[in-house]
Amino acid sequence: EKSYALIESGVYTFKVHPSASKPEIRDAVESIWGVEVLKVNTLNRSGKKRRTRGTNRVGQKPDTKRAVVTLAAGEIPLFEN
């Protein structure tokens, strides 16, 4: 996936609450992992439409918000060995 390739260059992708703002995301990442955040980009993704099998009604998966966080230096230990 594209986000896994970006981890090597210090760019991390998170799924965040839909009402979270960029300064809130920056403060949360800095306080949780103790790293310096260079910039935060956000994107809203609409949920896919799904059709049920038996009744053929159309439903929808929930909308999500993603944050792409670029670090100034250091790394986040997401995958522990």
How far is it, in rounded angstroms, from Cα 78 to Cα 74?
A: 12
Contact 14, 69 (CB under 8 A): yes
The CATH number of 2-73, from 3.40.50.10860, 3.40.50.300, 3.30.70.1430, 3.30.70.330, is 3.30.70.330
Contacts of 52 (CB under 8 A, 6+ apart): 58, 59
> How many Cα neighbours within 13 Å face the side chain of 8?
4
Per domain, the residue ranges of the chain are 2-73
DSSP 42: E
pLDDT tens digits for the chain (81 residues)? 788 888 888 899 999 999 999 999 999 999 998 889 999 999 999 999 999 888 889 999 999 999 999 998 877 877 654
